[in-house]
Amino acid sequence: MDLIALLAIQVLYAIASLALISVGLAIIFGMMRVINLAHGEFLMLGGYAAIVATSNGISIWIAILVVAPVVVGIIGIIVERTIIRFLYGRMIDTMLATWGLSLFLVGLTTAIFGNTTVGISAPLGSFQIGDYRTSGYTLFVIAVAAVTLGCIFATLRWTRLGLIARGTMQNADMAAALGVNPPRVYAITFGVGAALSGLAGAVLAPVSGVFPTIGVAYVAKSFITVIGGGAAILSGTVSASTLFGTINQIATFATTPVFGEVALLATAIVLIRLLPQGITGRFFRRGL
């Protein structure tokens, strides 16, 4: 029984972390059809932002929940203005340019912080489930994921900004005809997506540590989650991360973490082969 409870928490954690790392990418991809291969590096920058902030005496909660998203959000807007905006509609070229950006950011952080892993210790200690102990931070990650997804839902569903965003997403020309300025919406969306990535990177930094090439570990997973999820931002991210997270965690439990990851990636390939439009291309079509 305790083991099942523990496993349930682990599965929930896997789902939550997948959803967290993918949601920023999902917003950018869903909105602008931009495949941002520098996504992993945005997460990495979030981690570094949080670590630098805590080592300068800022409370760890503020560092993770405020500093990291703001810093990476600003970086995101700068990237959009200097690179991405010239490449809208050229999907392959955006992919290549953002890949170049990713190499650049890896090189830059290596030059600044060195090629070593830095970490912050996870707050919140651990708690007991029957015979097992698990980290309280796990629950924090799950909570952050839930709140983040809730906020995105609320914004998209009930605010004017969300309405404009959804409208531009569906038909940019029509939105422009009604007085919306699509380039501005795109810049803001890219910034928001980057900020969410920064948040995710910071939230996961105490778990995994941060090093310049950590983005590689994230980028493939977040991509397949977004593409596996399909066009709908929220329901896609949630359904795909539920599927992949569960499979990953169960395979990890049965074998090793490495083969858990392999199982995740293999499932993703089969899923994309079966449902090229992603899960929301066939199910939950009316979701957000």
Residues that bind other proteins (CB under 8 A): 35, 83, 86-87, 91-93, 95-97, 99-108, 110-111, 216, 220, 223-224, 227, 256, 258-259, 261-262, 265-266, 268-269, 272-273, 276
**Distance of closest approach, residue 94 Cβ to other proteins, in angstroms:** 8
Shorter beta-carbon distance to other proteins: residue 17 or 98: 98
Alpha-helix runs per DSSP H in the chain: 2-32, 39-55, 60-62, 68-82, 91-113, 136-158, 160-170, 172-177, 182-208, 215-229, 233-254, 257-274, 279-282
Shorter beta-carbon distance to other proteins: residue 17 or 102: 102
CA distances from 227 to 61, 239, 254, 272 (A): 32, 11, 27, 8
**Distance of closest approach, residue 112 Cβ to other proteins, in angstroms:** 9
CA distances from 127 to 130, 133, 135 (A): 10, 6, 6
**Distance of closest approach, residue 206 Cβ to other proteins, in angstroms:** 23
Shorter beta-carbon distance to other proteins: residue 21 or 268: 268
Q: Which two tokens stand for residue 206?
A: 């105490």
Shorter beta-carbon distance to other proteins: residue 175 or 268: 268
**Distance of closest approach, residue 49 Cβ to other proteins, in angstroms:** 19
One-letter amino acid for residue 141 of the chain? V
Shorter beta-carbon distance to other proteins: residue 171 or 255: 255
- Distance between CA 42 and CA 49 in Å, rounded? 10
Choose among 153, 151, 176: nearest CA to 164: 176
**Distance of closest approach, residue 101 Cβ to other proteins, in angstroms:** 6
- Distance between CA 288 and CA 235 in Å, rounded? 6
* Contact of 69 with 199, CB cutoff 8 Å: yes
Shorter beta-carbon distance to other proteins: residue 78 or 95: 95
Choose among 75, 102, 101, 97: nearest CA to 86: 97
**Distance of closest approach, residue 113 Cβ to other proteins, in angstroms:** 12
